[in-house]
Amino acid sequence: MARNVPIGIELVRRNIVTESDVKEAIRHQKEHPDKKIGDIIHVLNLCDEKKLLMAMGEILNEKVFLLTKSAINIEVTNYLSLDVCRKCRAIPFDDAGGKVKVCFSDTSNKKAVEQVRLLLLHNGYILEQYLTFDSNIDKVLNSLEAKPTDDIQEAGQDVTRLVDTIIKSAMEKNASDIHIEPMEKYVRVRYRIDGNLIPITKIEKELQSQVIGRLKAISNMYQEKQEDQDGRILIYNNYNIRVSSQVTIYGEKMVLRLLKKEEKIRDIYELGFPKEENFIKKYFDKRNSITIVAAPTGEGKTTTLYSIINSLNTEDTNIITIEDPVEIRIEGLNQVEIGPKSSFASSLRTVLRQDPNIILVGEIRDLETAEIAMQAGQTGHYVLSTIHTINAIEVVTRLRKLGISDYDISSTVANTVSQRLVRRICPYCGKKRVFNDEEKVKMNEVVDKYNLKLDFTDTFTYDAIGCEKCHNTGYLGRIAIIEILDFNENIKELILNGASTFEIKKKALEEGYLPLEVDGIQKVLDGKTTLDELDKKLVLFDK
């Protein structure tokens, strides 16, 4: 029932507390006006906390949860930073298939609830809100804050603590990489967040050898060798950290790649793919063929493959992946990691004897791997892989240069995908405005090449302002801009006849193919990113 009388009276009516209990709580509230009656009754221990919370839920028409540290089933900071938890008085405690359960001390604070909802949404999660006691929020926050602080400067001369704090701080900020770089007079630490390197701190030069030594020790590298090495750090729960060292003129530079072992696989539509009916079935639910995702390094190819595979993962399908390394463990998949004595090609030969329906090959690097992947696609399997090239059409050129025949390309490739990652506008500080005339002209110049016209009715752009939530960048998270080349009969015939990529592109455009820049501009019109961000990634406009 909706609350229409003071909650204290309702609690008395339900025999949860007495009138004298409520009077005592009201006296206490005069000294603590920021506290609510229900929370005060709980703090004063005037009744059974479970009965109190259940009654408050019924009165306020809210789901409730008795929050304790032991009842939390997830790593809180994987979903919300401690800063957000403090500000919004909210603690995430469970993830039920992408629906994140969050306890609030005050669900009537719509601003706080909406902030948490948007932040989760931008990371691919749906909010399910619960009510709990404010003091329980405090207890959980205190226990979480008892962990090493993310204020790196406080670590001082304690190198073990310093290294640990640098790594844990990066995890909390959802960084993908940590760069520890010796300079002439200091050691620079930078995090890569949403694709951009952000300076974090400087370490005294005197500590350089100790910091590098500590990193080598926990990543199983040779301490005495001043040479390029690779290692792994496995001492942090839920993280597999790849470490690379390289000798520079000022010492050994260390780069740590932070890979979550159990990271949630994002829905393919959340990545930026079009929400078309039967999209997965149309492009990716295939047999006797291969799909290739093409993009430069760091543009999310593996993430896209995982999303596709996850959508095809059923109990009656045998899916095997060959990766270097396995970045995310997915339940129901048979995941194979390339070792020092194996390769994609050798592992793929073995996989073909394992009765697979779908095979994910992390990357096509050479002719041998390409040939076996093509053979797999021609013998009843569906193969997904990646290749390094600039767009979906140039995959044809890349395969030709590797030595794959036009016949094999035309008969086996179902489609190619290319993508780039652009930063999303920060939902907390982005400033909404209409497009100016110069921006409209620039965008129309791009799409005019494809005989398209833009409608600016009811469209807005955003200025990237910068705030604490987005590390003063104006952006939070990333989204992919996409192009898909469907190898229909006309495209296959052109390839079989040795047509150039120019001819292939011309025919593809006639049949509805839309290049990266068109999808990018549509996402600008949708308010998901900015024209400046798109131009940085694709270099669309003359400066």
Give Cβ neighbours of residue 196 (< 8 Å, ≥ 6 apart): 423, 473
Q: Say if CB 325 and CB 285 are below 8 A apart.
A: no
**What's the rounded Cα separation, in Å, for the pair 492 and 406?**
9
Residue 157's Cβ-count burial label (10 Å; 0-12, 13-18, 19+) is exposed
Residue 338 has what pLDDT? 87
Residues sharing a CB contact under 8 Å with residue 10, sequence separation 6 or more, in sequence order: 3, 55, 59
Rounded Cα distance between 66 and 135, Å, is 11
Q: Are 327 and 420 in contact (CB under 8 A)?
A: no
How open is the CA angle 173-178-181, to the nearest 5 degrees? 140
The confidence score (pLDDT) of residue 151 equals 54
Q: At what angle do helices 367-378 and 394-402 cross, to 10 degrees?
A: 110
**Four-residue CA torsion sign, 495, 498, 500, 503:** negative
pLDDT of residue 1: 39
Q: What is the pLDDT of residue 174?
A: 85
Could you give the C-alpha distances from 321 to 268, 359, 499, in angstroms and in order? 18, 6, 33
Q: Give strand pairing partners of 267.
A: none
pLDDT at 387: 95
Q: Global pTM? A: 0.65
- Contact, 179 vs 190, CB < 8 A? yes
98-114, pLDDT tens digit by residue?
Answer: 899 999 999 999 989 99
Which single residue is written with the structure tokens 């016949």? 407
Low-confidence ranges of the chain (pLDDT < 50): 1-3, 146-150
126 close to 98: Cβ distance less than 8 angstroms:
yes
The Cα angle at residue 8 between residues 3 and 9, in degrees rounded to 5: 75
pLDDT of residue 360: 94
Would you say how long the chain is, in residues? 543
- Alpha helices (H) in 273-393, listed in sequence order: 279-283, 301-312, 344-351, 367-378
Query: What CA–CA distance (Å, rounded) separates 276 from 279?
Result: 5
Greatest Cα pair distance in the chain: 91
